[in-house]
Structure 1
Amino acid sequence: MKHTIVIVDDHILIAKALSSIIAHFNDFTVLYECENGVDLQEKFKDKNNLPDIVLLDVSMPIMNGFETAKWLTQNHPTIAVMALSMQNEESSVIKMLKNGAKGYLLKNTYPTDLEEALQKLVTQGFFYPDWAATTIHTHEENQEKIQAALKESFTARELEFLGYAATDLSYKEIAGKMFCSVRTIENYKESLCTKLNIKSRVGLAVFAIKTDLF
């Protein structure tokens, strides 16, 4: 049985193009397309319209991707949300993750990469591109042990910064809250990235969310 997908994007040509591409995937099928979150909410009133996955545009009128992802997480937590965007801005990625998105994909992705991302979303529960990925893999059964071991490896200030890294605050705003310089904040970030073998702040946010540290 194929995994069902709903596409939410206010650009009709993009939505139709995605549907056409996914039609060639062996394990996935598109149920329908929506123009925004409100349109999706109306469709969801019919339980036959509930999919396995929602491909969700970040920037939309009326009800944007951030609001829609949060609504889906609160009302339909079993549906996996994959965010779609033209930009890889850290603040947007982190905000989508905080609102429950299980993955983030740029719209200039090749069809083969889209299919791979969907497969990983289904089999692993998450998908993040290389620039956001972490080499740390966690499982529910040993989550407490992982958290305890990691907290022993971090300083209190690094843990404090890690909490802020999982928000959409800028480095300058984080520095203000931690009463230190932006350079000190950058040092915390570099230290954590080195310890965890992570490439970016987005990766740190992914790690914090996946391990339930924050």
Structure 2
Amino acid sequence: MQHSIVIVDDHILIAKALAGIIENFKQFNVLYECENGKVLQDKLKVKKNIPDIVLLDISMPVMDGFATAQWLKEAHPEVLTIALSMQDDEQSLIKMIRYGAKGYLLKNVHPAELEKALDSLVKNGSYYPEWVTSKVFMSLSSESAVHSSRIDITAREKEFLQYSVTEMNYKEIAEKMFCSPRTVESYRDSLFEKLGLKTRVGLAVYAMKNGYN
């Protein structure tokens, strides 16, 4: 069974290169390419243009990847979205997950990893880069992570979890919580230990999975 893909990227050469690579994958085919989210919106008004997967560039004019992902989540929740980026920053990752992306790839990814990501997306529902450690997502799927009521999380730690989903840095979170950055770091470290996590990305995903966002 083949799965259809749409590539949304304002760099035509990159979009064409990606399409050429994907056409060599047995289980996938490219329906078309778009230069931004607005063009995609117009294309998806026609039912036959709705794909299984959207490969979505983050930085685009007119309608960027963040806005497009958010719209897809609301208008076409059945479509799986993978974000494409030149940067491996956790803020972009957190934001794209928040807006419904099920995967995140760097644009310099090897074709073999691209195929692996697409396979994982259709089989498991998600794919994330190695710098988001597998331990994060193992913890999220474990019984202790799913049933957060069994973990003794304080009210202030819950408040911190809500802010962990935002784009604020730790200093800005401290200002919102009316405490010092060192105190915020203590909340973070305590949650790392309680939840078995190591990164802010892990905390953010945990927060979204358990309704703290």
- The normalised TM-score by structure 1 is 0.90
Query: Which ranges in structure 1 are unaligned for 5 or more consecutive residues?
Result: none
SS in 2 for 1:61: coil
CA separation in 1, counterparts of 2:108 and 2:209?
26
SS of equivalent residue, structure 2 residue 139: coil
Alignment correspondent of 1:43? 43
Q: Is the 8 A contact 2:140 2:146 kept in 1?
A: no
- Contact residue 57 and residue 84 of structure 2 kept, 8 A: yes
Distance 1:183 1:145, change over 3 A: closer
**Deviation sequence 1:28-70 (CA, Å, 0-9, x none):** 1111110000110111111100001101000000000011001
Structure 1 residue 155 corresponds to structure 2 residue 154: yes
For the 8 Å contact 1:132–1:206, the answer to whether it is kept is no
- Cα distance in 2 for partners of 1:188, 1:3 equals 43
Distance 1:145 1:36, change over 3 A: closer
Identical columns (%): 57
After TM superposition, list the pairs within 5 Å mapping 1:33-182 onto structure 2: 33-133=33-133, 134=136, 135-138=138-141, 146-149=147-150, 152-182=151-181
Residues 55 and 143 of structure 1, relative CA distance in 2, 3 Å threshold:
farther
Moved more, 203-212 or 4-13: 203-212
Root-mean-square deviation over aligned CA pairs? 2.0
SS at match of 1:153: coil
1:3 aligns with 2:6: no
Deviation at residue 147 of structure 1 after TM alignment = 2.8
**Unpaired segments of 5 or more residues in structure 2?**
none
1-structure distance, mates of 2:78, 2:208: 17
How far residue 137 of structure 1 moved from its aligned partner, in angstroms, is: 4.1
Amino acid at match of 1:175: A
Moved over 6 A (4+): 142-145
Q: Hey, what's the Cα distance between the residues in 1 that align with 2:211 and 2:96?
A: 16
Corresponding residue number in structure 2 for 1:204: 203
Read off the aligned partner of 2:117 and give its amino acid letter.
Answer: A
Q: Aligned partners of 1:132 and 1:189: how far apart in 2?
A: 17
Return the offset for 1:121. Answer: 1.4
Taking the aligned partners of 2:26 and 2:189, their CA distance within structure 1 comes to 41
Shift of 1:171: 1.3
Q: Is the 8 A contact 2:56 2:81 kept in 1?
A: yes
Is 1:172–1:182's contact at 8 Å kept on the other side of the alignment?
A: yes
Aligned residues, how many?
A: 210
Assess if the C-alpha contact under 8 Å between 1:10 and 1:61 holds in 2: yes
TM-score, structure 2 length as denominator?
0.91
Deviations 1:103-137 (A, max 9, x none): 21111211111111112211221222222241224
Q: Would you say the 8 A contact 1:86–1:108 is kept in 2?
A: yes
Separation in 1, partners of 2:69, 2:158? 27
- CA shift, 1:198, in A, is 2.3
Compared CA separation, residues 49 and 97, structure 1 to 2 (3 A): same
